[in-house]
């Protein structure tokens, strides 16, 4: 397959994370990528850091692109962005929106519904090759159009669009919960008297090891908890306190709040 030309509208944090990953793993070359951003500084920075093309007008980049990535915020002027795409994008190009909370129906109202539109909530672990992006296609889009690009910054789960908001708050915001857990765990080690660096290394190793155990043994966490806790011992005393806290429900409420906010982002647009 010939290399796809990829044009980003919005060159912020998420666009940069995707660009860095797809160039690093040779999914795309820098010369096949263009970016438009209302902030000139961002374009200059992306050119300097990654060598992407910058001496091209947006109208031309849109007309030549195979994939057009809408990477502005939900609060930005999507009507204006959609109008540009509608006017200049080639008929066979696929338009990928990574804008949280904005539906395919809303996107179609901005750019026209008679073209391939793909709603993606991109995973944020892009530099690792791990992490799932959630993807919903409209009737004009095919997996073949986007599969190579999407796998260039992690793994992909194709979903019914009705699940994308849930996937956003649970899956894509997911590393937040894990980062926060690791930070809290390392703090617990320090609170109990370990030096910070040792507490930190142990927390990371335990998280990585626990995931490896779950994958290797295919056991349920509860079964591994049983093995880890001797009668009247250390582990079960620690777990008793956790059971007395709001730990599980707090985490679950946090995910539900993130899912709720995703839906609000789509509705509260200017």
Ligand X SMILES: NC(=O)C1=CN([C@@H]2O[C@H](COP(=O)(O)OP(=O)(O)OC[C@H]3O[C@@H](n4cnc5c(N)ncnc54)[C@H](OP(=O)(O)O)[C@@H]3O)[C@@H](O)[C@H]2O)C=CC1
Ligand Y SMILES: O=C(O)[C@@H]1CCC=N1
Residues 33, 71, 116, 118: which binds ligand X (CB under 6 A)?
A: 71
Asked if residue 99 binds ligand X (CB under 6 A), the reply is yes
CB of 231 to ligand X, least distance (A): 45
Q: Is 74 annotated as a binding residue?
A: yes
Gap between the Cα atoms of 200 and 126, Å rounded = 23
> CB nearest ligand X: which residue?
12
Exposed/middle/buried for 64, CB within 10 Å: 0-12, 13-18, 19+?
A: middle
Q: Select from ligand X, ligand Y, none the partner in contact with residue 99, using the beta carbon and a kind-dependent cut-off of 5 to 8 Å.
A: ligand X
DSSP sequence for 34-76: EEE-S-HHHHHHHHHHH--B-SS-HHHHHHH-SEEEE-S-TTS
CB of 165 to ligand X, least distance (A): 12
Q: Is 269 annotated as a binding residue?
A: no
Binding characters for ligand Y, 211-240, by CB under 6 A (x = yes): ------------------------------
What angle separates helix 221-228 from helix 234-244, to the nearest 10 degrees? 130
Instruction: Tell me the HSE value of 9 on the side-chain side, using a 13 A CA sphere.
Output: 31
Asked if residue 172 binds ligand Y (CB under 6 A), the reply is yes
Residues 5, 7, 14, 116: which binds ligand X (CB under 6 A)?
A: 14
Q: Select from ligand X, ligand Y, none the partner in contact with residue 76, using the beta carbon and a kind-dependent cut-off of 5 to 8 Å.
A: ligand X
Asked if residue 81 binds ligand X (CB under 6 A), the reply is yes
Asked if residue 165 binds ligand X (CB under 6 A), the reply is no
Q: Binding segment for ligand Y among 30-38, 141-149, 167-175, 183-191 (CB under 6 A)? A: 167-175
Gap between the Cα atoms of 50 and 11, Å rounded = 12
Any idea which residue has 């994008």 for tokens?
A: 89
Gap between the Cα atoms of 255 and 239, Å rounded = 22
What angle separates helix 78-88 from helix 104-111, to the nearest 10 degrees? 60
Q: Select from ligand Y, ligand X, none the partner in contact with residue 37, using the beta carbon and a kind-dependent cut-off of 5 to 8 Å.
A: ligand X
Q: Is 72 annotated as a binding residue?
A: yes
Gap between the Cα atoms of 164 and 253, Å rounded = 18
Q: Is 11 annotated as a binding residue?
A: yes
Residues 145, 150, 168, 170: which binds ligand Y (CB under 6 A)?
A: 168
CB of 32 to ligand Y, least distance (A): 26
Binding site, annotated residues for NADP(+): 9-14, 71-74
């Amino acid at each position: 397959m010939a290399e796809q030309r990829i044009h980003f509208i919005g060159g912020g944090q998420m666009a940069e994370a995707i660009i860095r990953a797809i160039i690093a793993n040779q999914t795309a070359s820098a010369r096949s990528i263009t970016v438009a951003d209302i902030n000139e500084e961002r374009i200059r920075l992306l050119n300097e850091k990654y060598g992407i093309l910058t001496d091209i007008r947006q109208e031309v980049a849109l007309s030549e692109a195979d994939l057009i990535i809408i990477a502005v915020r939900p609060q930005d002027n999507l009507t204006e962005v959609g109008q540009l795409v509608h006017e200049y994008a080639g008929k066979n190009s696929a338009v990928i929106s990574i804008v949280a909370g904005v539906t395919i129906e809303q996107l179609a109202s901005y750019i026209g519904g008679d073209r391939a539109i793909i709603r993606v909530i991109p995973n944020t672990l892009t530099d690792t090759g791990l992490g799932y992006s959630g993807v919903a296609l409209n009737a004009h889009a095919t997996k073949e159009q986007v599969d190579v690009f999407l796998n260039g910054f992690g793994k992909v789960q194709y979903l019914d669009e009705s699940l994308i908001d849930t996937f956003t708050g649970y899956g894509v915001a997911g590393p937040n919960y894990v980062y926060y857990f690791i930070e809290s765990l390392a703090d617990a080690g320090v609170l109990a008297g370990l030096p910070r660096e040792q507490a930190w290394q142990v927390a990371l190793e335990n998280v990585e090891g626990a995931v490896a155990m779950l994958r290797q043994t295919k056991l349920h966490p509860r079964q591994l908890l049983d093995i880890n806790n001797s009668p009247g011992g250390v582990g079960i005393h620690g777990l008793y306190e956790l059971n007395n806290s709001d730990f599980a429900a707090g985490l679950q409420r946090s995910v539900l709040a993130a899912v709720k906010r995703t839906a609000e982002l789509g509705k509260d647009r200017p």
